[in-house]
Amino acid sequence: MKAQNKSKLAGLIVLASMFIALSSCKKSFLDLRPYTSVSSDVAITNESDMQAALNGAYGNMNSVNLYGRTTPLFGDLVSDNVYISTINSNRYLDFFQINYTVTDANGQGIWQSAYSTILRANNVINSSLQGNENVNQLRGEALAIRGLMYFELVKFFAKPYAVDPNALGVPLILAYDPTIKPQRNTVQEVYAQIEKDFTDAANLMTQDKSSGFFTKWAAKALLARMYQFKGEWDKALTTAEDVINNSGYSLLGLNDVLSFWQNNTDRDDKLEVLFEIVFDATNNIGNSSLPYFFDQSGYGDALAAESLYDLYSNTDVRKDLFIVGSAIRGADVKVINKFPNTGSADKDEMKVIRMSEVYFIAAEAAYHQNDETKALTYLNDVATERDPGFAGYSSAGQALLDDILLERRKELAFEGHRYWDLVRNNLDVTRVDLANDYPGNVPLVLETTNFRRILPIPQGELDANPNIREQQNSGY
Amino acid sequence: MKKFIFLVTSVFSLLFAAGQNRTITGKVTDDKGSPLANASVIVKGTNVGTSTSADGSFSLSVPPNASTIVASYVGLGDQEISLTGATSYTINLSSAAGTMNEVVVVAYGTQQRRKVTGAISKVSGSEVENVPMTSVDRMLQGKVAGLQSVSPTGQPGSIQQIRIRGIGSISSSSAPLWVIDGVPVNSGDFSGATNSSNLLAGLNPNDIESISVLKDAASASIYGSRAANGVILVTTKKGKAGKTKIRVDGEFGTNDIAFFPDLAKPLNKDEFKQLTTEGVLHVGGTQADVDAILDQFGYNTTANYNWLDLVQRKGQQQQLNVSASGGDAKTQFFLSGGYFKQISEIIGSDFKRYSGNASLRHQAGKRLSFGANLNLSTFHQEGESESANFRNPVIAALALLPTQEAYNADGTPNYDPTVFSQIYNPIAIRQYDRLSNQTSKLLGSAFAEFNILDNLKFTSRYGVDYSTIEEYNYFNPFFGDFSSNDPSTTGLFYTRYNRLFNWVWTNLADYGFHAWQDRLSGHVTAGYEAQKSMQLTEDATGTGLPLTTSIIYPSPVTPQTPTYDGSDYAFTSLLSKADISFLNRYTLSGSIRRDGSSRFGSDNRYGTFWSVGGAWNVDQENFMQNINLISLLKLRASYGVNGNAEIGNYAWRTIYSFKGTYNGLPASFPQTIAPGVTTDVVYNDNGTVGNADLTWEQNEPLDIGIEVGILKNRITVEADYYNRKTDHLLLAEPLSLTSGFPSFSNNIGAMVNKGLELTIDATAIKTKDITWTISVNGAWNKNEVTHLREGQTEIINLPYIIRVGEDVQSIYTRLWAGADPQTGDPQWYKDDTKKEKTNDFSQVTRSIIGSASPKGFGGLNTTFTYKFLSLDAQFNYQYGNYIYDQWGFLYTGDGGFASLNHNRKELQRWQNPGDITDVPRYDFFNATNSNAVSTRYFYKGDYIRLRNLALRFEMPSSVLKRLMLTRLSFYVRGTNLWTKTFDKNITMDPEQGINGTNDLQFFIPKSFTAGVNIEL
């Protein structure tokens, strides 16, 4: 019996020590934190955090949905610059066939990626950091990014300002609020916000940076583009001329054209490009990029329209930005070689705005301000620097406007501008001679009256947001 | 601290090992009088006991107040003997004593079946031995009522999907918890770069002694927040005292495709040419256009291949298992080694496993015993990535044109980019690229048991579940997605290392008691458990590879930044369970567990889970003693609450990720959603918007069961009705995309699974020479979503819909009405009234047409034995579900994807006015939307499959004696030999993953094997 008592005692000691040991387990045992992230409330607490968060906003614009591929491609594919080869990976056929619906993933992609970029920009803009030059610069860059995203959104999802400024635009979201279920603002309201963002951005930014980041002048150049879309030609002209005369950025000259397009890094020399999205060896989208979509060693689905190629004279240096013939798609097809670095680790940057476009904006604005001489000057400043055999335009009236649009088409091809030139001028898209042997099934005209001139509000938004359901673009 | 406790335990055990009791001896035999080694003999209501030695004898020191001893043997049940003054007893354990005396493995212990209050199904180890499948989960198919086990792919070593009593979650995992020798393990797919890979494939099924499937609250709730989808307890083989047994099992065989209908096979050269010609003319092209296009497609060459044949080969199957076990009354051991190889019939898809198992147990004195189990394995898996991607050789083979030249003149695979511009030659990929996965696993535990008092036992067990997954991808520098003309970026080499270290420390005190001359007895168990799992992932990539494929680890010209990540979780738990039995007739049980987990939001970190259960052994009542027909009658019921904690390790946190760069600088951003995750699936380790309230999904299962045996248990029937109410289901609340976030996770949904399970076991014939047994099981589950978020009635995730009042896997699609007989245009019904057809796609609405979940499924097992021969057959069946041909839009795309091959179903296309057919006109680059998702791509998933057919010859004992063997048997086995489908238009194997979507992953194999079992 004695032994038994002892063993009872022993048992109790064992149990007691066990429970003491275990209950002393620290509370932190259950507080496990992720390895590659921090809590959002402490994410932006100093300047370097702010820079990192801003870089996150820049980095989002290299999405396949934005400048990575979809937005620039749309501008050339839903117009007359580019077509999809019969041998294709089935990408963007609904764009090419002008047959997109509310469930189109590319359309939803633009919407989603633009707004997630806006979220990232908003967090930087609204961060509590205040005051000094650096903080102002970073906040200014974020404002410019936000302005740019709203500009893209209002282009794709709303009627052109010139057609109806009171039409439904896109919802304006200016602060972090995951629960928001917004209605659409009007086109006019969205444009007002874009103007404010670009203006504020230009006022806040004071630093020189490489072309991979926003600067005061890039924001002003985009502001000029916005006035052009609005048709506020006086402001478009003064803003564009401000950039041309005061920015210190130089126009791309004839001898630099080929090396300019071969270059795959951002620039510090203020040559031509005001802002571009950087795709470097670490941060790029590989096979999902637009250049890979053109490259015949890549997908190679998209080829240049014959009619576009024929616009360049034989002395035009830009003709060297094409390769004639593809091993897969035939000896005559015109392959786009404007972005030749798909095989390199460091990929091509995608241009957002460059000086040549600013000159065109100035030319077009001057034309509408009835200063045709000035218009011709700005137009020829670019045109004669591309073709040594070309003496320059000398047209007048409507012909001059047509020449400006023609030169825009040639200079800005494959950078996503063509469709918007037609849309903001309320012109039909007319496809002429895309390729010699292209079989049917592709509409040759997209009239101004067609509801597919703009994209539908995507299904994902309609599903999540009851307040926008009744505001779908008509026709969808 | 851990060391300290072990030390204390050991010291006290040494001090108090001696006792002052009387000693009894005896012998335990089976019903034929043969001695049973390692049978357990314990003093009733205590933990004082011993095991019999090889000759069945035992010697036991019993306390002076002991009145009854219980002898038991796994599989035979137990028997109680009242102690008299005698010192020697002979105990006869007979199987006829009934299944009710059988001892089954339950959560945190074992229990006599009679006293089990919950729904537990047992699968014995012999049922999963020597089966030509890579992991044990595949072998559970059709064996347990209510357990649905399906393969989404036939890739050897890939995951198997198991659902117990229906789908219990919408967006978290619905997979059961696996507990191996007391250790809750990490299971599932942790591969990231190669194939689907199953961690359980590291466990050699031949090392398994028994499996218990816990299906209801009473049996499973003690696992708390991880019990909601059922628990599968695996017990590995242990040594038994007695003569050393040596066993050798070997088999080899072949693999082939189990089922792939002709309609799904690719068109030949002429057929494709014919369709293309029609297609171009239909869209206004001329014959000249046709010729130009065919020329572009390579029709000017002489090549003519059936690519599906080219990507196949003769599959192989092989395994060899050797084991030794034995020991004496104090020390028992088990050692085994295994080799398993499966070479799939699809090129480049292989699996090889080497495994070893060691188990040791030692009794040190009367009160202390300790031991360890160690399971080591490594498997190598090879095969193309199967995801929806043209690298998958099956997908490629169906899309490549017969005119694409597969080989160069010298017989090497052709990879000329002008011939293989969109889809690479899968044979060349096989030759030049490599994708492999080497998973190594250590699964082990060490334990000590200390009988503090005769009826109070303390057990401490420390278990480790350690896995490393090394993945290796090599993309050659010559052709393919990763080749380029720039030597610094051509080719890609990628390795991924994944380490999972999961430890569990369990401490239990178990107290047994009895009173009133044993009329009342019971057990109380209480304990504490802590667990932590830590995952580390390292990725390294480099491009610019040397122009040779013979270097395994090339030195890349352009190494890319390696990335590191981790993902951890931890649980701390207090647990207790108790049962009390009266007169062997009435048992009440209860359990309670309090779980805290790092996965639960900071505002909701701890939860309590419980169960109550009762069992009434009616057959033990006095009034039943004269009813001879009924030999067994037991009623049981249970109810409780448990949870599903598979909600993502960090999903509740609101976080900014720093996993990015821009222009050479670090970049941070709000984590919106993990890459590749769609908005309706929120199983997301990286958090979304965050939710501090986020917590486990809650499950409240009710179970009512009856077990009946008639004719001396010659026929036994077990039936269960269950009603599982699940709420707090995690759902993605879609957010307006304008917020920048697609969705956030919240505990908002609810659903119910109700169902019936039935198992009938019968011995149809039992004579001296012939035995014929039949076992049938079936389960009928009805799922209904009862709540989504406030104001929301449905979540559309086409082609599926989650709608309140409907099955969680409802299919929501357009109703196809075939081709317009006049024009060949596609036609749909406008709505599900089917009154009006239209060819205007925009007028077509969707409706629910059925579910991907079967109405019923189960299995039939039968064994016929005549003298030395036995024939064993197992059928599986499933009915009432629809399966979806996800690739129909392409392979039966009516000219969509015109430059790719189509399947033979396309031959049924409309050609002339008046044609009545389901397949519309073939248009080159089809723009009619005919290949948009509609009922045309859904098929009835009903099937019966002969899962297993084995013929075995057992060498008679007379011969064995001469050969000095204990057992010698030979067998031939066929797996998946025969499949019966019930939809004549079906374009795939009817056995698909849980969601019934055919992703053209590798084929489920049909195997023929022959083998031998030898025991010394």
Give a three-class secondary structure readout of B813-826. EEEEEEECCCCCCE
Burial class (CB in 10 A: 0-12, 13-18, 19+), B251: buried
Q: How many angstroms separate the CA atoms of B55 and B243, rounded? A: 9
Mean pLDDT of chain A: 92
Q: How many angstroms separate the CA atoms of B786 and B804, rounded? A: 5
Predicted pLDDT of residue A5: 55
CB B340 within 8 A of CB B134: yes
Q: How many angstroms separate the CA atoms of B533 and B495, rounded? A: 23
Predicted pLDDT of residue B635: 96
Q: How many angstroms separate the CA atoms of B923 and A365, rounded? A: 47
Q: What are phi and psi of B148, to 5 degrees?
A: -95, 125
Q: To the nearest whole percent, how much of chain B has pLDDT over 70?
A: 94
Predicted pLDDT of residue B316: 95
Predicted pLDDT of residue B96: 43
Closest-CA residue of B relative to A212 is B663
**Min Cα separation A75/chain B (Å):** 22
Residue B389 pLDDT grade (very low, low, confident, very high; cuts 50, 70, 90): confident
Query: Considering only CA atoms, which of B248, B225, B911 is closest in space to residue B529?
Result: B225
Query: ipTM of the predicted structure?
Result: 0.92
**B774-803: b or e for each residue (b if 16 or more CB lie within 10 Å)?**
bbbbbbbbebbbeebeeebebbeeebbbbb
Predicted pLDDT of residue B97: 44
Contacts of B782 by beta carbon, 8 Å cutoff, 6+ apart: B753, B754, B755, B807, B855
Query: Where is B550: in which H helix or E strand?
Result: none
Q: How many angstroms separate the CA atoms of B626 and B392, rounded? A: 66
DSSP classification of residue B413: B
Q: Is B345 helix (H, G, I), strand (E, B) or coil?
A: coil
Nearest to B738 among A56, A182, A345 (CB): A182
Beta bridge partners of B573: B529, B595
Cβ contact (<8 Å) for B12 and A13? Answer: yes
What average pLDDT does this structure show over A239-265?
96
Element counts in chain B: helices (H) and strands (E): 10, 52
How do beta strands B943-954 and B967-981 pair?
antiparallel
Predicted pLDDT of residue B74: 65
CB B331 within 8 A of CB B199: no
Nearest to B654 among A14, A40, A87 (CB): A40
Predicted pLDDT of residue B81: 77
The CA–CA distances, whole Å, from B729 to B261, B683, B697, B751 equal: 39, 12, 5, 8
What ranges make up the beta strands (E) of B349-485? Answer: 350-364, 368-382, 434-453, 456-475
Predicted pLDDT of residue A11: 55
Per-window interface: B 463-502 vs A, CB < 8 A? 481, 483-486, 488-490
Which tokens sit at B329? 């009354």
Mean pLDDT lowest for which of A450-464, B551-565, B772-786? Answer: B551-565
- Is any Cβ of chain A less than 8 angstroms from the Cβ of B653? yes
Q: How many angstroms separate the CA atoms of A96 and A82, rounded? A: 9
How do beta strands B434-453 and B943-954 pair?
unpaired
Nearest to A282 among B15, B293, B661 (CB): B661
Q: How many angstroms separate the CA atoms of B214 and B613, rounded? A: 14
pLDDT for A335-366, tens place per residue? 999 999 998 889 999 999 999 999 999 999 99
Q: How many angstroms separate the CA atoms of B392 and A262, rounded? A: 36
Q: Is B171 helix (H, G, I), strand (E, B) or coil?
A: coil
Mean pLDDT lowest for which of A445-454, B218-227, B616-625, B648-657? Answer: B648-657
Question: Peptide bond before B799: cis, by omega within 30 degrees of 0?
Answer: yes
Cβ contact (<8 Å) for B653 and A34? Answer: yes
What average pLDDT does this structure show over B91-95?
69
DSSP classification of residue B919: B
Residue B207 pLDDT grade (very low, low, confident, very high; cuts 50, 70, 90): very high
Q: Which amino acid type is present at position B550?
A: S
Cβ contact (<8 Å) for B672 and A116? Answer: yes
Chain A residue numbers touching B689 (CB-CB < 8 A): 178
Query: Considering only CA atoms, which of B419, B549, B414, B474 is closest in space to residue B194?
Result: B474
Predicted pLDDT of residue B73: 75
Chain A residue numbers touching B452 (CB-CB < 8 A): 7-8, 10-11, 14-15
Cβ contact (<8 Å) for A39 and B653? Answer: yes
Burial class (CB in 10 A: 0-12, 13-18, 19+), B959: exposed
Per-window interface: B 406-465 vs A, CB < 8 A? 417-418, 421-422, 450, 452-453, 456, 458, 460
**Min Cα separation A40/chain B (Å):** 5
The CA–CA distances, whole Å, from A285 to A140, A293, A347 equal: 27, 12, 9
Predicted pLDDT of residue B778: 97
What average pLDDT does this structure show over B241-248?
90
3-state helix, strand, coil in chain B (%, to 5): 10, 50, 40
DSSP per-residue codes, B618-686: GGGSGGGTT--SEEEEEEEEEEEEEEE--S-SSTT--EEE---EETTEE--EE--S-TT--TT----TT
Predicted pLDDT of residue A56: 93
Chain A residue numbers touching B696 (CB-CB < 8 A): none
pLDDT for A96-131, tens place per residue? 999 899 988 899 999 999 999 999 999 999 999 987
Predicted pLDDT of residue B691: 83
The CA–CA distances, whole Å, from B874 to B141, B777, B1009 equal: 10, 11, 16
Chain B residue numbers touching A39 (CB-CB < 8 A): 653-656
Chain A residue numbers touching B486 (CB-CB < 8 A): 343-344
Mean pLDDT of chain B: 89
Predicted pLDDT of residue B7: 41
Residue B99 has pLDDT above 90, yes or no: no
Determine the residue among A36, A42, A113, A301 to mutate to test chain B binding: the one whose Cβ has the most chain B Cβ atoms within 10 Å.
A36
Predicted pLDDT of residue B210: 94
